[in-house]
Chain A
Amino acid sequence: MPRPHRRRFLVTLAALGLLPRAGVRPAGAAENDLAPIIAKITSGKALQPGRVRIETPLLADNGHSVPVRLTVESPMSAADHVSTISLLSDRNPRPVIATYHLGPRAGRARIATRVRLNGTQRIWAIARMSDGSCWSGHADIVVTESACLDGS
């Protein structure tokens, strides 16, 4: 079916400045100060970047349910394994999303879940190893907002 008006329609929208980024918050500044929370997790030890990977869509189309997968590089042996993974949000009203306790019986350090994100932000995963060292990874997620209120 030819849609002769589609172009004009899009041009109109573009002229109104509505097309790009519409409905998407610009990557805002962090609202949560995660430092004290991280200090508690690491017991004050240095937090090293690396070994932790967060997989999530770059663009989440609904902040109520965003898939997240956490993977930590570790042999997961009795002597050398991940003890906890904490998932933190830099914009949610409660910054600690979850804390997972695992051990050598996990075989591998990989956890998948779905989270709520209060807008575009950076999330952090902090892994604490059996030797007490702490590692971190992060991911930036753009959260689009609903097009319409739903009062149903």
Chain B
Amino acid sequence: MIQPAKPELVTVNIDGQEVEVPKGINVIEAARMVGVDVPHYCYHPKLTIAGNCRMCLIELGMPAVDRATREPIMDEATGKQKINWIPRPQIGCGTNVSPGMHIKTQSDMVKECREGVMEFLLINHPLDCPICDQAGECKLQEQATGYGRGYSRFIEQKNVKPKRTQLGPRVVLDDERCVLCSRCIRFSQEVAKDDVLGFVDRGSYSTLTCYPGKELANNYSLNTVDICPVGALTSTDFRFKMRVWFLKQTNSIDTESSVGANTVVWSREGVIYRITPRQNDEVNDTWMADSGRILYKQVQSDDRLLPAGSLADNLAAASALLKDGGVAVVGSGRSSVEEQFFTARIAKQLEAKSCIVARHGEGDGILVSADRNPNTRGALVTGLITGLPATELTELAADIDAGAVKTVLVVGEDLTAAGLSADQLAKVNIVYLGFHANATSAAAKVSIAGLTVFEKSGTYINQQFRLQKFASAVPGLAGATDDRVVLAQLLAAVGGETTGSDLASVWSALSREISVLDGLAYAQLPDTGLLLDSTAWSGLAFPEGETLHYQPATAEATA
């Protein structure tokens, strides 16, 4: 576990309180650290400073020093160093703290500035909140209530702008609601590296648009919806489906690659409505790929494996086949650490070879890596595999052809996608556990319906060897059983040591048996994960290239 270096601190005075804050951060962040809210629109901690909304104006003063001698000038009345207040308000977002800086966030001037900006932002705003999807998470609504005057002095005609522009396949723009903060533009340029958005026209007629012939179609386009402070950018998938205040938020992990972007799953009454990124400055900042946001659709997808028979019968049938010998185990890089742990134990109990199926794609250099399994590292840590997995199970195929395998336990994977032929499948008994139906489940002697990541809890280990937890957002499919529980019971059924299948019990076994997990407990894992000691696997040539906050070890070595 690597501890970040302690930042250098400076003392500043915020609204009369002397506080210590890290050097170099801006006034908004400094104030935030001591619980003071400096309202803002255009500032976003992960984007460059634009300074255009002017909502964050504050009063700023510096300790007075004599120009010639550099001696402090004292205030006779207070006995303290005199403060030179700048007569004009300054932007908090663009002002970095320095020693002795004095900041007023509550003065009359600051209040007046905020009232002014709020009034200006609302005069041409359509005020269509009742039909706006942003209601409930709209900064304009919140700050109008908190910092506005509460009435309007505007009697002129409002500007008219385009109301429904499809910027790309997933994002819709309402220009009348846009406060021209340029967050979406900066995101496209700086993070997505796809410079397609800009303003046309000028003054109050400025209008956000895509460059001619371009569209906002990159795999990060929905982040613009997340960071748009108002209802100007909305998601085609989510808009008009549900008011956000009805939704329950559950922390989860994006399973589309080994990056493991941290996410929030938004659900109501067992139905998921959207997935958004959750801030983790070591992994994904505040971003995630669009492709990871639609994964919730697998919960209600047509190809889900539906439960058949009772779990007890299925387990009995499965264990009978497995105990008969000649077993091979195909685990999964999509399974949780806990599931992989049980899978590995079953393999060990049965003295079976175990493997997982590698899944490779092109890394995008941002938040989708080349390793499309979320938990390859977990398979290594739990001992399910000892080297890097392959995309094709050639060894298993050869063993089947040689008649060395009678039964294959398959967790979640489709063997035909991993290079096995229908003939080879037909030669063996298959015990399948997973949430979707495929050629392998169809060929299985015993198939047990499992759950999606959204219906269960556990941990993954990402490309950085960061152990990250996810929690179940919605109840599992009726009749299906948590994969972890199924595997624990299967282990017991084939004669293995019985461990409780609840997370606390599994983790006491994990921390006892796996040295890099020593001393850890599920309940104590921080929301942003924990970096594990990965030296044991440093020799492996992992397929990932560079992504946000991740430099592959091999690249470092060759650089």
Q: Do A and B bind each other?
A: no
Interface residues of B (CB under 8 A from A): none
Interface residues of A (CB under 8 A from B): none
